[in-house]
Amino acid sequence: MKTDIFIDPSHSNWILGGIFREIYNQNATFFNKPRNISKIRSKHVVSTGILAFAALIKKNPIIFSSLTPLQNFTKILPHNSNLKFLWYTHSEVELTEEVLKLLNKTKIIFVHSLFEKEKLINSGVSSRIIPVIGAIQPEYFNDASVTGNKIAWIGTSAPRKKADLALKFSQLNPQINFKFFVKNWDESDLAKYSNSLRNVEFFPINSPLKSINFDGCSHHLILSEVEGGPMSLLETLAAGLIPISTRVGFVEELLCKLGYESQLLTNPFSFENILEKYIIEYPIEHRKKSALIVKDFTYKKLSDKIKKEVSESSKSQNLFYKKGTN
């Protein structure tokens, strides 16, 4: 019996889709290739139905890449008995009773941070919750990026990413140069405004980021209001950049572990706070040591961790059923 991986179609070409493709690639004999599970009213409904009923018949354990595919699967098969695991990044709203009931039907919830684990527990989630920070491809960061003094920003125009705030900061500080690594940027309302900023270069994210992409940069700026990760922080740390970040996702626990606690922004913060952190100096040895620690977060280790938890839970479940029939 193999474990199914169900993802939301919107995640296929973005971070979550990439994470689960790598989890599958590292243990292809244990996991099935990630497949899309959509809502009932969608162009994917036929393939979704086929996948859902096949999983039900085979009684495969299922990992859902986020809450959305779990909700969609349950709407199609409300009385399914599959062993369910959930990769949970974050929620921007208070959890409803319906969502809480659904979360409590999962065997294990994987989260990115202790902060998110505490939030779920305080909300009434009783399922087992396991923090797993995430992973990178360490081979993409064998060499540190060529250092400079530019500030990197990575993300989309989604409001929670606070791209507008980052652009405002760059506008008010023409003496600093920036590299913005963006996804679906031209479709946003910010595109026209941002093109007028002469100290900002824009690079569309069309492939995994590597050390070379951050050549000329010294810092990575994160001003997000909410984050599940952010995975991009692992990449920039591995490339040797110095972080400047709000206290979101796993940022605080990771930066404190790496000795970068002075780089944390506490809300409400000012642009002056960012500039203060921009001029703090860190020796090259500090940056190299941080990069080495972060490069240990490999997809192999992440995949093996999830495989181990799913395998042990499945064995326990089978023993429970066997005892129940005796």
**Residues 66/37, Cβ–Cβ less than 8 Å:** no
Q: Specify whether 66 is located in the same domain as 144.
A: no
Q: Are residues 249 and 155 in the same domain?
A: yes
- Domain shared by 82 and 172, yes or no: no
Task: Look at strands 217-222 and 108-111 and give their pairing.
Answer: unpaired
pLDDT attached to residue 40: 65
Higher pLDDT, residue 107 or 43: 107
CATH number, residue 146: 3.40.50.2000
Q: Do 156 and 207 belong to one domain?
A: yes
Q: Where does the pLDDT of residue 128 fall: very low under 50, low under 70, confident under 90, or very high at 90 and above?
A: very high
pLDDT of amino acid 326? 41
Instruction: Count the domains in the chain.
Output: 2
Same-domain status, 174 and 249 = yes
Full-model pTM: 0.89
Partners of 309 in the β-ladder = none
- 172 shares a domain with 56: no
**Cβ contacts of 176 within 8 Å, gap of 6 or more:** 149, 150, 151, 170, 199, 278
Instruction: Looking at the structure, tell me whether residues 231 and 306 fall in a common domain.
Output: no
What's the pLDDT band for 320 if we cut at 50, 70, 90?
A: very low
Q: Which residues pair with 244 in a beta bridge?
A: 221
What 3-state class would DSSP assign to 101?
helix
* Per-residue DSSP letter, 264: E
Digit-coded pLDDT (tens) for 275-311: 999 999 999 999 999 999 999 999 999 999 999 999 9
Give me the mean pLDDT over the 44-48 stretch. Answer: 70
> In this predicted model, what pLDDT tens digit does every residue of 139-162 receive, in sequence order?
999 999 999 999 999 999 889 999
Q: Taking residues 249-268, report their average pLDDT.
A: 95
**Pair 283, 223 in one domain:** yes
Range of the domain at 267: 139-294
H-type alpha helices, the chain: 15-26, 45-58, 67-76, 97-103, 114-123, 163-172, 190-194, 231-238, 251-257, 271-278, 284-294, 299-325
**Residue pointed to by tokens 């064995």:** 315
Q: Based on the domain organization, do 109 and 191 belong to the same domain?
A: no
| The token pair that represents 235 in the structure block | 């990449």
Same domain, 282 and 202: yes
- Do 147 and 120 lie in one domain? The reply is no
Q: Are 111 and 198 part of one and the same domain? A: no
Task: Report the pLDDT value the prediction gives residue 43, as an integer from 0 to 100.
Answer: 67
Q: pLDDT band for position 325 (50/70/90)?
A: very low
